Structure 1
Amino acid sequence: MYERLDKLRAEVERCKRKVEDDRQRLKAAEQKLQEAENTQILADVGALNLSPEQLADFLKLVANGQVGSAGTVSTVTAVNKETEVETKDDDDYDLEGLEDEEN
Structure 2
Amino acid sequence: MCADALRDEFQNLVSAEVSARRDRVGLAGAFAEVARALGFTVRRVRACWHHEVRSVTLAEWQAVRALGAARLAQEESRLRHEDALIRQRLENIRQRQAALRDLL
| Band the TM-score falls in, shorter-chain normalisation | 0.3 to 0.5
Larger gyration radius, structure 1 or structure 2: 1
Larger relative strand fraction: 1
**Larger relative contact order, structure 1 or 2 (CA cutoff 8 Å, min sep 6):** 2
Give the TM-score normalised by the residue count of structure 1: 0.43
Larger relative helix fraction: 2
